[in-house]
Amino acid sequence: MTGNTIQLDKNGNLKHFLTTEGLSQSLLLSILDHAESFAGVGERAVKKVPLLRGKTIANLFFEASTRTRTTFELAAKRLSADILNLNIATSATSKGETLSDTLHTLEAMHCDMFVVRHANSGAAHYIATQVAPHISVINAGDGRHAHPTQAMLDMFTIRRHKKSFENLRVAIVGDILHSRVARSEIHALSTLGVLETRIIAPQTLIPKDAENLGVQIYHDMDEGLDGVDVVMMLRLQKERMSGALLPSEYEYFQRYGLTNKRLEKAKPDAIVMHPGPINRGVEIDSDVADGERSVILQQVSHGIAVRMAVMAMIMGRQPDNMGDTE
């Protein structure tokens, strides 16, 4: 499900942002370049630019995520857009109204963009096919399928530290099977031309189609980390610990938890990433999460700039000659 016929307009510009899969290298690099222009806005006395003044963006979160929703909200406000946060739990959809009726109601409120998070894979793509032509959709995470803005903020973080992608070895560690983040990361890394992408996980947490993703598969943590430039840790959902897919938390940490000793296998200047929230002592040791090689908090900051970039590009706005709003 690449969805490129719907993601791009007739001129090849971004209309929706649903997945990193199938998008061109030039388009991904353009997102990163735009984000670079927005990165300093948060340090201004007035943390706003007028690019999306008069536009209305609705956050439609059918699945809870405070961190992602908040960064999208901040991104929209810094672009001077009006932002609507729809509480799905108390909205009409919980009272029996169909999703289609809810969308049409929001369209009647003259919204310009929907930011969608949903537990079902493909939900954002479906919504993009149902909305009016003037409305754009950004996928803020759908089931196990994709989380494209998370992938792009991670790409932005990597480029800031490593300058280019061509010679990098990147290791993604953890629950690859259930992770929409991992899939979006793998597609983006491949498109941007990294030398090698590795996935490290127990056999039970490796997708059946992993070999088709162009990655190197490791089940041994030390082997997988050997000589890598970037270590991406994934959040492990504790509710899966009680099932047959995983051993105990203690055993998992012993085999796949990132410690300073394990990090010695990577290159001396390797960076450590995590999409958050962190399960300390399960997937990563606190000494590593808070250590000098961790860029986890930078990822959060960069998420605002990247989401500003995606919103502005979709709306056809360029960050040239940005002025502070009054």
> Mean pLDDT for the chain?
90
Average pLDDT over residues 87-105: 69
Backbone angles phi, psi at 197, to 5 degrees: -115, 125
Q: Euclidean distance between the first and final Cα of the chain, in Å?
A: 43
Query: Which CATH number is 148-296 given?
Result: 3.40.50.1370
Angle at 323 between CA 317 and CA 325, to 5 degrees: 100
Cis bond leading into 148, ω under 30°?
no
Q: Taking the alpha carbons of 126, 128, 129, 132 in that order, is the dihedral positive or negative?
A: positive
Cite the residue boundaries of each domain of the chain with CATH code 3.40.50.1370.
Answer: 4-145+301-314, 148-296
Average pLDDT over residues 17-22: 96
pTM for the structure as a whole: 0.92
| Element containing residue 127 per DSSP (H, E) | helix 123-130
322 pLDDT higher than 90: no
Active-site positions read 67-68, 95, 117, 147
* Number of H-type helices and E-type strands within the chain: 12, 9
pLDDT in tens, 207-237: 888 888 999 999 999 999 999 999 999 998 6
pLDDT in tens, 104-140: 888 999 999 999 999 889 999 999 999 999 999 999 9
| Element containing residue 141 per DSSP (H, E) | strand 136-142
Contact criterion met (CB below 8 Å) for 296 and 274: yes
Q: Measure CA 121 to chain center.
A: 15
Q: How far is 70 from 31, CA to CA, in rounded Å?
A: 20
In terms of Cβ atoms closer than 10 Å to its own Cβ (0-12, 13-18, 19+), residue 114 is buried
Query: Six-digit token pair at 15?
Result: 């209309």
Q: Which residue intervals of 163-295 are DSSP H helices?
A: 180-192, 221-225, 249-256, 260-263, 286-289
Query: Six-digit token pair at 91?
Result: 């909205």
What percentage of the chain exceeds 70 in pLDDT? 90
CATH 3.40.50.1370 fits 4-145+301-314, yes or no: yes
pLDDT in tens, 57-69: 999 998 888 889 9
The region of weakest confidence among 23-27, 40-44, 243-247 is 243-247
Amino acid identity at 93? T
Q: How far is 231 from 225, CA to CA, in rounded Å?
A: 8
Contacts by 248-255, CB closer than 8 A, 24 or more apart = 249/281, 249/282, 252/202, 252/282, 252/283, 253/281, 253/282, 253/283, 255/202, 255/221
